[in-house]
Amino acid sequence: MNVRKLTPAIGAEISGLDLSTRPDKTSADKIYEALMQHQVVFFRDQNISAENHLSLALSFGEPQLANPLYPRHPASDNIMILRSGADNPPDTGGWHTDITYHQNPPFACLLVAREVPDCGGDTLWLSLTKAWETLPGGIKSEIEELSAVHDMGDFRNNFTEGQSDAGALIDAHQTFGSAIHPLVKTHPVSGRKLLYINESFTQQIIGMRATESNRMLDYLYRHIEQPENQVRFHWTPGAMAIWDNRCTSHYATADYLPHSREMHRITIINDARCPGG
Ligand code: SIN
């Protein structure tokens, strides 16, 4: 197995591993180690069935039931199908860390490309640890002890489209609720500090007035989203990404319509190698 770093901040491509059979414990441990080091890892040209996808996910932790708003794979309720095209525009554009409107967001995700457009449809990830480490010292001291409210944010639009009243959105607010997270967290495995906000779901820094909070969040987003903190992946059929959702945000570029793109995604709730992490 070969691990090639893609940028100094984040991302590595793994080659020399055939994922059409379940990797043995040593290989799964090595993928995990690369994931902990590089935060997102990529594979190319894999002939990975739904069963392989699921068994690889299981080697990292417990998979989540796929979000009922999206189609599920006939072979497994854990595989979410993200299919976009002219009749179904993508809704995952915008920087986000998955499900931070929950108090315990998931550990990781495995995303497999099933159909890709001829060009476009890339996904970008950024490193929240690098973002923290490169913040000016004065800002670090100002925000280090603060927390912020996260809620369903951009996801709200999924409950308003085609609705004549706000009923579905009101129900969704009750179902999804909100969460409070420190602005600065420590990664449970690497021990690195990270800046835990994302433009899609973070709403307000607690203890600041809304205008002051918006100004600070805007400054922090501009800092986080610098290209130096990012890796961009161009998908090819059979490519797979695994990301550590505890220290990254991602952005799926919605530039390929009217062409289609289909991705299969499994979300892993917990890190089996780091209980409680
Ligand atoms: C996502 O936000 O999980 C989707 C990423 C992608 O489709 O590239």
In three-state form (DSSP H/G/I as H, E/B as E, the rest C), the secondary structure along the chain is CEEEECCCCCCEEEECCCCCCCCCHHHHHHHHHHHHHHCEEEECCCCCCHHHHHHHHHCCCCECCCCCCCCEECCEEEEEEEEEECCECCCCCCCECCCCCCCCCCCEEEEEEEECCCCCCCEEEEEHHHHHHCCCHHHHHHHCCCEEEEECHHHHHHHCCCCCCCHHHHHHHHHHCEEEEECEEECCCCCCEEECCCCCCEEEECCCCHHHHHHHHHHHHHHHCCHHHEEEECCCCCCEEEEECCCEEEEECCCCCCCCEEEEEEEECCCCCCCCC
Taking residues 136-161, report their average pLDDT: 92
Active site residue 250: yes
Active site residue 234: no
Taking residues 83-88, report their average pLDDT: 92
What local confidence, expressed as pLDDT, does residue 172 receive? 87
Domain ranges of the chain: 2-85+104-126+230-268, 127-224
Instruction: State the burial class of residue 216 (Cβ atoms within 10 Å of its Cβ: 0-12, 13-18, 19+).
Output: buried
**Model confidence band, residue 159 (pLDDT cutoffs 50, 70, 90):** confident
Q: From CA 107, how far away is CA 147, in angstroms rounded?
A: 20
Q: Is the peptide bond before 227 cis (omega within 30 degrees of 0)?
A: no
The one catalytic residue in 96, 150, 181, 187 is: 96
Token match 């890796």: residue?
A: 231
**Model confidence band, residue 167 (pLDDT cutoffs 50, 70, 90):** confident
Q: From CA 233, how far away is CA 94, in angstroms rounded?
A: 16
Please determine whether the domains at 2-85+104-126+230-268 and 127-224 fall in the same fold group of CATH: yes
Residues with CB under 6 A from ligand 1: 82, 92, 111, 123, 250, 252, 263, 265
In CATH, what number does 2-85+104-126+230-268 get? 3.60.130.10
pTM above 0.85, yes or no: yes
Token match 């010292």: residue?
A: 137
- 127-224 folds as Double-stranded beta-helix (3.60.130)
**Model confidence band, residue 93 (pLDDT cutoffs 50, 70, 90):** confident
| Nearest CA residue ID for atom 6, ligand 1 | 252
Is the pLDDT score of 230 beyond 90?
Answer: yes
